[in-house]
Amino acid sequence: MPEAEKAIQSITYNISGSNARVNNNSTDNSYNIINNDLVSKIEDLRTELHNNNNLSNKVKEESLEIVVAVEEECKKEKPNKVVVRSLVRSLPAIESITTIGASIVSMLN
C-alpha cells in the first residue's frame, strides 16, 4: 500500500481537559471521577480553617486532618455520604465552615 503511506504524512491530536486520554486499539476500563467544584470546596474549607483566628493551632490541626479524611472519602468511586456528613459535622461549628461543609455533602449524589 505505498499510496496509503504517502497519503498519510502526519496526524496531530489536540487533547485537553481533566484526565484527558487517548486509547488506540485498546479498552479503557478506568473511572474518572473529577468534580472540580468539589475539589474547590474542599480547598475553601482548608482556607477557612487556616485563616480563622478564633481557633487554636491544635483545633486547626485536628480539623485539617478531618478535611483530609473528607477528601479521601470523596475520591472514592462511591463516596459514602453518611461518612462525609459525619466528618463535616465534627468540624468546628463556625458558619463559614458549616456552610462549605453542607455544600460538600450536597454535591455527593
Residues 22-29, mean pLDDT to the nearest whole number: 70
Q: pLDDT tens digit string along 29-84?
A: 655 455 788 999 999 999 999 999 999 999 999 999 999 999 999 988 889 999 99
Greater confidence (106 vs 32) lies with: 106
Q: Residues 11-16: contacts with CB within 8 Å, 24+ apart?
A: none
Between 13-27, 53-67, 85-99, the lowest mean confidence (pLDDT) is in 13-27
Of 104 and 6, the structure prediction assigns the larger pLDDT to 104
Please tell me the predicted confidence (pLDDT) of residue 108: 86
pLDDT score of 93 more than 60: yes
Question: Does residue 19 surpass a pLDDT of 60?
Answer: no
Q: Are 74 and 104 in contact (CB under 8 A)?
A: yes
The answer to whether 74 and 81 have CB atoms below 8 angstroms apart is no
3-state percent helix, strand, coil for the chain, nearest multiple of 5:
60, 0, 40
* Domain assignments of the chain as residue spans, ordered by start: 36-107
Using DSSP's 3-state secondary structure scheme, residue 40 falls into: helix
Full-model pTM: 0.67
Q: Is 51 helix (H, G, I), strand (E, B) or coil?
A: helix
